[in-house]
Structure 1
């Protein structure tokens, strides 16, 4: 808050008699320095953009881990027989764009904007899409409508031919995250402090001065005060933009409530905002460079599996489910992500697993070599291990039926 006394110029301020100040105003720091205030973010007066969100290091890191992680998984079309089938849409959705980039950007739309949009540009296999172009989620003009039924109201999306909509199971971060907005504000405050702008400052009349506005024409005293304070602030703002320190008139006293260097960086507040972002995205806080005092131990593979199940899984399932619908794939086909390379074991564990599967006749040696990219040897399947035969089960002792029952049966 900035309490600023009125005054048209230095001469007018200095010439006034020494009485108490007649006017004061509370000026938001966002108005003074041209930056958004906290209330602008909290009450939604300023909508956060994708560029602003990705400028936050924690959001950028979470985006890379989630979207980039899913983008590296190949998409496979599985037929009714359980075998993979070639489909150009899954190998390269967009012309001139790598598949991993297209999927990464699609997941980014789901993460930030809640839904992603593809536009079909070519039709091929089974009269299904063979090539698409990803649309900017913020520019799509298709909007849902509320439809009323006797049982209630539903939000229904119109069916637009050639337009593929992929919905996120979670809300978009751009509209549901106060933590991102708070971090942006804290960063702005820290940057202003680095430029020499204090977080709180104000003017007050110097001893022996009573700065007020001088009415002109039909102006009232209140109108003159408002005009004078505006002129003063405009001159102060222009001087601050041109120089690090602005000139202070002799009739004014400048006050500032400064922070020490540690507080100026707002380290604790920004670290708390990062922790909130970690909770929003599901990413481990340590992956966003926030130290945690206690945690459950996981090895590398367990952490990867946990990340797929808890963080990546909802977005992957949404994409798999949408691409597997009958309007995109023939009935009986389904689209799945191949996560085998991401969850692969270390060499010793993989060799032990292959040996167990080969010994159980679940896997052939050549099949195990094929997984490792080796040429088949043409070896026969291993003979079953010699096992001692189980003794034949002895007949259970059964009591003979009474003769009277036999007679009754014969009768």
Structure 2
């Protein structure tokens, strides 16, 4: 049983240990052991960076929407093989079908997800006697990695380079290059939720006379106040003679309104998306007139090729399709002009 059989039908199969005989793929990841990443981030920020996780990133609404836009645009498009500019008559079946329980849509959706967040994806493939690919499945990101020498390890065991397709993305991945901004966005989401539950201004409960309140008793008083402020009538409170409630700061939503808007702009930049598609806007003074068609063109001209091109380029290599052929997503339904509902334009 090979790697592809294990990937599609695990059933407790054990991967062969190819450590000694592994043919080097030439893939060297500077992030494989994390040390280089620590050095670079320390040089930039003066400390070891705390990288955000995918789960945390997916709690940020702008990230979810950006991911959804690209999955909807790219994962739903069929893959086609071309020889020069002509579509190959007999298309490889694996381009449009999968053998496991995961559909081609989900294969591509999670391939994009891997590239968005981690900077690379991995497919397991099955080949015939001539070396042609007959089936392809995505390998879950948590199961594989690369070591310092460029070997691909699945469950910490090296696999044959002919049994996998390593798909590098156009960047290191958002969890690396956007980690600081995404952590700030996640913190902002947490902050405004906390403010919504306990509206500002912040309150200091100041003891005006010595009453011998212990630390535990003070914590109980603060907890009771915090709980009371979440009540619909939380704007009204009672304090005993010995405690004075002091408001700190003023009630302002600017930080959360503007901050969350700039989060959308940051996420749009990291995803190479037009900011308007995430409902983000620049300052009023710099707003320019734009149309839906203009945003659509910008998306298809710059954003989609940025992500789709990485997958197309890798699947067009000679170890995937015959020499001279190339693989492309079929965007013809998006790029072909739609006829006018009242017919073609004619001169009077």
- Using structure 1 for the length normalisation, give the TM-score: 0.58
Larger Rg: 1 or 2?
Answer: 1
Are 1:61 and 2:65 counterparts?
A: yes
Q: Which residue of 1 aligns with 2:310?
A: 318
RMSD (Å), alpha carbons: 3.7
Are 1:342 and 2:334 counterparts?
A: yes
Distance 1:144 1:232, change over 3 A: farther
Distance 1:258 1:314, change over 3 A: same
Distance 1:46 1:243, change over 3 A: farther
Distance 1:326 1:196, change over 3 A: same
Q: Which residue of 1 aligns with 2:104?
A: 99
Q: Which residue of 2 aligns with 1:278?
A: 268
Q: How many pairs were matched up?
A: 282
How much has 1:243 moved relative to structure 2?
Answer: 6.3
Q: Secondary structure at the match of 2:102?
A: coil
Q: Which residue of 2 aligns with 1:381?
A: none
How much has 1:160 moved relative to structure 2?
Answer: 3.1
Q: Which residue of 2 aligns with 1:172?
A: 173
CA contact (8 A) 1:70 1:312 kept: yes
CA contact (8 A) 2:316 2:325 kept: yes
Distance in 2 between residues matched to 1:273 and 1:200, nearest whole Å: 24
Q: Secondary structure at the match of 1:170?
A: coil
CA contact (8 A) 2:76 2:105 kept: yes
Distance in 1 between residues matched to 2:173 and 2:218, nearest whole Å: 39
- Using structure 2 for the length normalisation, give the TM-score: 0.67
Distance 1:107 1:81, change over 3 A: closer
Distance in 2 between residues matched to 1:321 and 1:106, nearest whole Å: 14
Distance in 1 between residues matched to 2:328 and 2:70, nearest whole Å: 17
Distance in 2 between residues matched to 1:335 and 1:166, nearest whole Å: 13
CA contact (8 A) 1:73 1:338 kept: yes
Distance in 2 between residues matched to 1:259 and 1:271, nearest whole Å: 21
Distance 1:111 1:248, change over 3 A: farther
Q: Which residue of 1 aligns with 2:190?
A: 188
- Superposed, 1:312-391 pairs within 5 Å as 312-348=304-340
Distance 1:145 1:232, change over 3 A: farther
CA contact (8 A) 1:305 1:343 kept: no
How much has 1:352 moved relative to structure 2?
Answer: 6.6
How much has 1:145 moved relative to structure 2?
Answer: 0.8
How much has 1:240 moved relative to structure 2?
Answer: 7.2
Distance in 2 between residues matched to 1:282 and 1:167, nearest whole Å: 17
Q: Secondary structure at the match of 2:146?
A: coil
Distance in 1 between residues matched to 2:48 and 2:205, nearest whole Å: 30
How much has 1:91 moved relative to structure 2?
Answer: 0.5
CA contact (8 A) 1:183 1:273 kept: yes
Distance in 1 between residues matched to 2:291 and 2:123, nearest whole Å: 38
Distance 1:286 1:127, change over 3 A: same
How much has 1:52 moved relative to structure 2?
Answer: 2.5
Q: Secondary structure at the match of 2:335?
A: coil
Q: Which residue of 2 aligns with 1:269?
A: 259
How much has 1:209 moved relative to structure 2?
Answer: 4.4
User: Which ranges of structure 1 fall in alignment gaps of 5 or more residues?
Assistant: 1-41, 147-155, 212-227, 356-411
User: Which ranges of structure 2 fall in alignment gaps of 5 or more residues?
Assistant: 1-44, 153-157, 231-236
Counterpart among 132, 143, 148 of residue 145 in structure 1: 148
Distance in 2 between residues matched to 1:127 and 1:243, nearest whole Å: 70
